[in-house]
Chain A
Amino acid sequence: MRVKLCALLATAATLGLATPPATAEGPDILKVAIVQQIDSMNPFLAVFQSSTEIGRLMYDYLTAYAADDQRVTEGLANRWEPSADKLTWTFTVPKGKAWSDGEPITAQDVAFTYNLMLTNEVARTANGSFVTNFSSVTATDNQTVVIKTKAPQVTMLALDIPIVPKHVWEKVGDIKDYANDQMPVVGSGPFVLTEHVPGQFIKLRVNNTYWRGAAKIDELHFVYFQNSDAAVQALGKGEVHLVNRMTPAQFDSLRDKADVARNKAQGRRFTELLINPGAQTNAGEPIGDGNPALKDVRVRRAIAQAIDLDALLQRVSLGYAEKGAGLVPPVFGKWHWQPSPSEERKFDPAAANAALDAAGFPRKADGTRFSLRLTGRAGRAYDEQASEFLKRQLGDIGIPLDVRLVSDNQLNEVTTAATYDLAFSGWATNIDPDFVLGLHTCAQRPGADGKGGTTDAYFCDKTYDELYARQLSEFDEGKRVEIVKQMQARFYDQVPSVVLAYDNALEAYRSDRFARFTTQPAQGGVIMAQNGMWGYYGAEPVVRATSATSWVGWGVLLVGFMAVVLTVMVRTNRRQATAEERE
């Protein structure tokens, strides 16, 4: 009797507790899955892609890239003018833009940010490379900022530096120790950071004072996942609304999923196969232990010719990529380069075999010429599968491969020490091609101590370097595009690496919650990882019916809990009874 009563009470209590907060018409929240950690919310220190992307939502840059065609457009500044010698740039910050706390945004904020980076080495941690060529930055009045550079710089409209509010940051003692967690964080972007729980989530709310107008959603949550598999599952269940960086298989698994829309976009990334061309330091000293045969450009060309890019595209990328050619992906239209039919190296193992014979590497008695190591990253689906294909394709031209799949760190170690023959690599490129082109200049090779390099291809070519210098000071865009294409052609011809594929960015979202997102560019563009904040800013929620949460889950939990409670009570009861009987 007593037992039943207790059980009843417990049930009632639990049910009472489990009653949901009744919200018929809640705020419109966009929940985004991220699989990368957030390193820091301090925009001067944050280097991870995830943090940079969230930084873009909090702080506008001096200029921005338009959503539809990625051309340079108004950021905090709406007008800019270079001097005749291209050494002085004058930017105008118009009146009427305000920080999220209501203070006006002025040229003083811009000058403060840039000068902080010029004077404080810690503030240069994340974006220092953009200001290395600056000689001075001054705000001549509240609307005008003047930047003087040491040499003409063609990328002055591509300064990806978050501008911070002077009135907040001038009080910051030490940039190094500042976590930027005074919530809500004062910013200029479409969203305001309101909460950050490390390893769990980040919450932002809409900035109603945003100068382009407030976004259509009320809140934006970034939810951390350990792997993209879990994120895809959560999307299926509706726990998150937007997921990117899916593997082709994961993307395919969502094909027939109800209430999920997929976005196959042209990505900013390319995947390449490095061919160690005889790595050297910037002083010309050889480093690493690459196979000397690869110094011969004929051998590198033969290897490139023996790789069946179409097969990799179909079987490894499952069609979710475009065939590789130049260093700039096709998403950046005008900068992208494709070989002409006469330049193109078509897949031709027979020709590759003949070329290797002619280059002085005949097949030995066992049918091989020389063997090579292929280093890739374990846990990256592309590397694990593509290595199988390369093993077979290069085997066909008498080059057996020793495949070594290693951790992220080990791969970095191998490429910075040049202890590879062939290795998988890849870069995300920006709208301005300067970064990815600059990677392959002689100056990017490491110093005598093997440190300080940023290249992993160890390309060093006089022709290429001359072209690089020329494009850097070519302010006529049409002419610059031509030089950039020549550089890519030179790179393709010398093959320090084979660009294998331009990966599609595979994204999906809950179509029952969101009607559309702004992609960049408009045609075949991405929602996440843009050169901008348009994807989140332009998110349009659908009019939504009240969503039923997973009551069944609660039910199961409840029943389990009750069972335990009941058992315990029944047992104690019986025990007491027997004890009374016996003693």
Chain B
Amino acid sequence: MRLAGRLGGAALSLVMVAVLGFFLFRVVPGDPVVSMTRGRPTTAAMQAELRAQFGLDRPLHEQFFSYVSSLLHGDLGTSFTFRRPVAEVIGERLGPTVLLVGTATLIAVGLGLWLGVRAAWRRDSAFDRATTGVSLTLWAVPTFWLGMLLMMVTGDLFPSRGMRDTDTAPDFVSQALDVAHHLVLPSITLVAVVCAEYVLIMRSSLLEEMHAPYLVTARAKGLRDDLVRRRHAVPNAVLPAITLVFLRFGLVVAGAITTETVFSWPGLGLLFYDALTGPDYFLLQGLLLVTAGAVVVMNLLADLLHGVLDPRVKAV
């Protein structure tokens, strides 16, 4: 029952995103046909032909209904800029984003949770203060600025753009190493920004857990600190922390957009930024749908995870 409700809510959110996307981007100023033909010899007749090709000559409500009906058939429309199906264009750019976001999230979760646990356990120690202080500072750092600084400081150590060099040997190992080399700065940037939050989440989650009566009892029984921490406190505290990590996926998305822009990383964030100059309506709608969809799915996962692993939730 609860699951059905959740799924329904998520579906409703996606429908709202789809509708919002249509109208939001139609209000973006600019005529796609004018921006497309700007600077080229064009006649009024050619402009009219283009408008008809894209269906832009029809009234807004007709455009909306045809958008909805093709969406129901799983068709996201055709990109004005690339003259190809939006799903195809997005598909091409999905890989790099997943790679960047995936790598960064894994590192950030691992590092964040570990630091958070240590900091909470030795609360008020020098380690705790340093970790919390650094985290709070990193949390305050604008992503793009960190990226630019890293680029300036590292000088020639790392490539300044993109995901691959064009003249790397075609074998898998060289290619993989090349991608890894390109991935270093963008993922450090993204990790730094996201990790800070995870540290703070994990730290407070564990601190809360440590006040739980059963832990006090366990300690009173004379169990070693280390054992109490590993056996009882951490497992219980990690759960809400992980849930929050899933819930805060929107933060990662935002970080990815700026990081991709700074490092010309060929993913969805860069695509979104480029699609705004057009404006490429269908591509923008598709991107909004995909990013919001990812966040919705993550939230849903967080919910399910929480429900499955934590029996207390069912009582609520």
Residues of A within 8 A of B (CB): 17-18, 20-21, 23, 26, 29, 31, 37, 39-40, 42, 45, 47, 49, 121-122, 124-126, 128-130, 132, 176-177, 179, 197-201, 203, 219, 221, 223-227, 230-231, 233-234, 237, 239, 406-410, 412-413, 416, 427-428, 435, 438, 446-447, 451-454, 550, 552-554, 556-557, 578, 582
Per the bound structure, the CA–CA distance linking A24 and B312 in Å amounts to 65
Residues A557 and B181 in contact in the complex (CB < 8 Å), given A21-B169, A129-B42, A198-B93: yes
9-residue interface stretch from B13-21, B25-33, B64-72, B290-298:
B25-33
Q: Are A224 and B34 in contact, CB atoms less than 8 angstroms apart? A: no
Query: Quick one: which of A29, A42, A233, A406 has the most chain B CB within 10 A?
Result: A233
The chain A residue sitting closest to B46, CB to CB, is A128
Number of residues from B at the complex interface, CB < 8 A: 71
Q: Are A412 and B266 in contact, CB atoms less than 8 angstroms apart? A: no
B35 interface hit (Cβ, 8 Å): yes
Minimum CB–CB distance for B153 against chain A, Å: 12
B81 interface hit (Cβ, 8 Å): yes
Per the bound structure, the CA–CA distance linking A124 and B48 in Å amounts to 12
Some 17 contacts from A to B, beta carbons below 8 A apart, are A21-B168, A124-B46, A128-B42, A200-B162, A200-B164, A201-B164, A226-B161, A226-B262, A226-B264, A230-B263, A412-B31, A412-B38, A416-B34, A452-B47, A553-B154, A557-B180, A582-B227
Q: Are B161 and A223 in contact, CB atoms less than 8 angstroms apart? A: yes
> Contact mask B147-165 → A, CB, 8 Å, 1/0?
0000100101111111111
B99 interface hit (Cβ, 8 Å): no
Residues in A whose Cβ lies below 8 Å from that of B226: 578
Residues in B whose Cβ lies below 8 Å from that of A227: 264
Q: Are B157 and A409 in contact, CB atoms less than 8 angstroms apart? A: no
Interface class of chain A by DSSP = mixed
Interface residues of B in 1-56 (CB under 8 A from A): 28-31, 34-51, 53
Residues in B whose Cβ lies below 8 Å from that of A407: 29-30, 276-277
Q: Are B162 and A26 in contact, CB atoms less than 8 angstroms apart? A: no
Q: Are B266 and A552 in contact, CB atoms less than 8 angstroms apart? A: no
Query: Quick one: which of A177, A198, A556 has the most chain B CB within 10 A?
Result: A198
Q: What 3 A-B pairs come out closest when comparing CB atoms? A: A409-B30, A452-B44, A21-B169
9-residue interface stretch from B214-222, B234-242, B267-275:
B267-275
Interface residues of B in 130-174 (CB under 8 A from A): 151, 154, 156-169, 171, 173-174
The chain A residue sitting closest to B152, CB to CB, is A233
Known A226-B261, A406-B29, A550-B157; 7 more pairs at CB < 8 Å: A199-B270, A225-B161, A409-B28, A409-B278, A413-B29, A452-B45, A552-B156
Q: Are B43 and A233 in contact, CB atoms less than 8 angstroms apart? A: no
Per the bound structure, the CA–CA distance linking A179 and B160 in Å amounts to 30
Residues in A whose Cβ lies below 8 Å from that of B93: 198-199
B177 interface hit (Cβ, 8 Å): yes
Residues in B whose Cβ lies below 8 Å from that of A412: 29-31, 34-35, 38
Minimum CB–CB distance for B143 against chain A, Å: 15
Residues in A whose Cβ lies below 8 Å from that of B228: none
Contact of A223 among B45, B51, B154, B162 (CB under 8 A): B162
Residues in A whose Cβ lies below 8 Å from that of B271: 199
B61 interface hit (Cβ, 8 Å): no
Contact of A40 among B83, B169, B279 (CB under 8 A): B83
Per the bound structure, the CA–CA distance linking A47 and B171 in Å amounts to 35
Q: Are A230 and B161 in contact, CB atoms less than 8 angstroms apart? A: yes
